[in-house]
Structure formats: C-alpha cells, structure tokens
Amino acid sequence: MHYATDLLLIGGTLLLALAAHGLGQKIHVPRVTLMLLLGALAGPDFLALLPEDSAESFSFITQLTLAMVGFLLGERMSMKDLHQSREALILSLAVTLTTAAVVALVVWLITGDGVAALLLGAIATATAPAATMDVLREAGARGPLAQLVYQVVAIDDAWGVILFSLALVTAGLLAGSSETGWTVLGQGVTEVGGSIVLGVVLGLPMAWLTGRLRPGEPMLLESAGFVFVAAGMAGLLGVSYLLTCMTLGVVVANKARHHVRPFRSIEGISEPFLALFFFMAGYQLEWTLLPALGALGLSYIGARIIGRVLGGQIGGFLAGSDGHTRNRIGACLMPQAGVALGLALLATERFPDMGYLLPLVIGATVVFELAGPPLTLLQLRHAGEVGRGIEEEKDED
C-alpha cells in the first residue's frame, strides 16, 4: 500500500496528541509543549523513528494548518468587540509594538543582522491564547485583571500577524536584493495589499452565503472550501496566505449574519492538523544548532519578557488602567505557542539561509509554555481573583 507509512504517521501522531492531552492535564504541562518534545525526540538528530522522507509533506501540513489558524484569528477582529474593549485594544497594541521593538533591538545589538532582528521581533509578539484561557478557566479567575487578560489575548495574535507581514516586506528590502529599493518596496506593498484585497473579495461572498445554503445547519463544507480556496489562490498570486485567510475571517466576523458558525466549523476540524503541525515542527528541530544558539536564545527570551512587562506598563498608562493592572498584565501574556511556530516557519521558507530561526523559536516556545501559565496564575492569585468565578457560581446556585 503506497500510503501505508503516511497513514501510520498520521494515526500515530493523533493518538500521541490524545495521550499528550491526558498526560498534560495530570502534570500541568501544555499539550503543545509535549507534542513539540515528542516530535523532537522522534527527529533524525535523535531517535530517527520516522522514514527519511517524512518531512517532505510538512510544508503542505503547515499551509493547511496556518490557513485555518489565520481564519480563526480573523474572528477576533470584530469591530463591535473592539469598540467595546477600548482598554484591551490599547493594551494589546502597546504590548505588541513594545515587545517587537525591544526584541528587535536586542537581537540587532547581538547579531548586527537587521533581517533577523525584524523577524524575531515580529515573531515574539505572538502569544498562546489557548494556554492562557485554560489557566483562567482552571483557576476560576474572575475580576478586572482576568477579564482584561481574556480580551487582550483574544486579539493580540491578529496584530502580530499584521506586524509580521510588514516585517517580511521590510526584511526583504534589507536582505540585499539585486533589484532597486523602490521595486522591492513596491513588491512588498503589493503582497500585503494583495493579501487584504483577495481576503475581502472572497470574504464578501462567503459572508453572504453563511447560513443561507442550509439555514440552522453546520456549514463545514462552505467554510473549509472558502478557507482553502483563499490559501490556494494566495499561493498562486504570490501573496501571503496567512494574511489572506485572516482578512477572510475579519470580513466574515463583521459582515456575516451568523458569523459564529463558520468559525466553530473550522475550529472543529483544526485539532488534528494542529497536532500534526506541532509534532512535525518538533521533528524539524536540529539539536546540533541548540548549543550555538545559547546566548541569542537567552537574549530573545529575556528581551521578550522585558517587552511584555514594559508594554503592559505603557499600554496601561495610555489606556488609563489602574496601577494594579499595569503592573501585572504584561506578566500574564508570556505563553507562546502555535502562531509563533507558524511565523518562524514562514520566515525560514522566505529566508532559507536563516535556518537557526526555527530551533530558536521552538526552544523559546517550550520555555514560555512551561513557565508562562504558572506565571499567569501567580499574577491572578496576587490580584485576588483566583476562585472568584467558582464562588460566584456557588452563590448563584
């Protein structure tokens, strides 16, 4: 059977993801971290458990997964929600921009490489909403800080994707292209603008069709069809499929009559792809590069921590938040997972000579996924908001 190995890989990875979920709940380690570690152990530099050609399909898995992730990020950019969450909007922008600036500056000072500084600065802005929200639910957190954290993590990855798209354009300009600067800049503007236009062009008919073909029923076929067509057309036109799919999601979130349903449909089928994505991302890890990345990796982690905390202070001041919130919000936004890995993979595809980006981001992701959730819980506990949600539910009963 020609695809026997592929089917074994897919089935085995999904069962590993199930086991990782159960184990993670018992030892309080995020599932994404366990999947990355399992993939890294299975990789060619360690146990070499998979056939040599197993990584060849990873690019396709990445594009499928990130197309769905981009679409789901678009839901967070609902204008109604943004209007109602002025404080969260200001805080998320401040944390995103400050983190990018601090990390980019530190990486540039260490490496002298402007391209690496821009890319790592943009990648550092990504967070892990699932891990953060899991902490809020598990702790029964309820209060001003918990509510603000929930709102901020719901939108800051979207800002990060937009910033990363702009960073890719600028990085291409700095990479020493043989073409003139204006030509490269024009290509970059065309890529970003083309992604947005394509997302809008496909998003309007998708928003109109949502809920009309089969009223009241699930809409997986139409949702998946539009998302994958958007990613495919973006690839054919040479624009960003991640930004295209996110724009598609933004249009649907703001224009569709039953906008929640297509997002829940895509969310429902994304889990197997995410499991494969995390496992294969770990499989790509080159262990031999890790010792050489020690100083840069530690600097990246330290700069990201400073950027989050400082961004929380600046954003809290601009938004008029109380001192209590300003001091704690940045530390609650440390977890980092799938979106960061996806951005690192896109950066590596665009700049193949910068192969160290992926192992650096994988290593940092493991650190932030292990240390981030407990740090978020600590801040909520110091704020006196842990368990308040559970107590309020008991009072209502």
Determine the distance from the C-alpha atom of residue 42 to the mean position of all C-alpha atoms in its chain, rounded to a whole number: 24
- What count of Cα atoms within 13 Å lies in the side-chain half-sphere of residue 78? 18
| CA pair distance 165, 263, nearest whole angstrom | 23
For residues 68-80, average pLDDT: 75
0.85 exceeded by pTM: no
Q: Which tokens sit at 181?
A: 């600067």
Distance between first and last Cα of the chain: 58
pLDDT at position 120 is 92
pLDDT at position 256 is 74
> Which parts of 175-259 fold into alpha helices (H)?
181-209, 220-237, 241-255
pLDDT in tens, 302-316: 999 999 999 989 988
| CA pair distance 64, 69, nearest whole angstrom | 9
Specify the DSSP element, H or E, that contains 372: helix 357-382
pLDDT at position 291 is 65
| CA pair distance 152, 130, nearest whole angstrom | 13
pLDDT band, residue 68 (cuts 50/70/90): confident
Q: Is pLDDT above 60 for 227? A: yes
List Cβ neighbours of 11 (8 Å cut-off, separation of 6 or more). none
User: In the predicted model, what is the mean pLDDT of the chain?
Assistant: 77
pLDDT band, residue 353 (cuts 50/70/90): confident
pLDDT at position 186 is 63
pLDDT band, residue 211 (cuts 50/70/90): low
CA angle at 328 for the pair 326 and 333, rounded to the nearest 5°: 110
| Greatest C-alpha distance within the chain | 69
Query: Angle 338-350/114-123 helices, nearest 10 degrees?
Result: 160
Q: Is pLDDT above 60 for 179? A: no
| CA pair distance 209, 38, nearest whole angstrom | 41
Please report, for residues 33, 48, 58, 275, 309, the alpha-carbon distance to residue 53 in angstroms, rounded to integers and kept in the order given: 24, 11, 10, 19, 43
pLDDT band, residue 392 (cuts 50/70/90): very low
Q: Which tokens sit at 128?
A: 């892990």
pLDDT at position 396 is 45
pLDDT at position 130 is 64
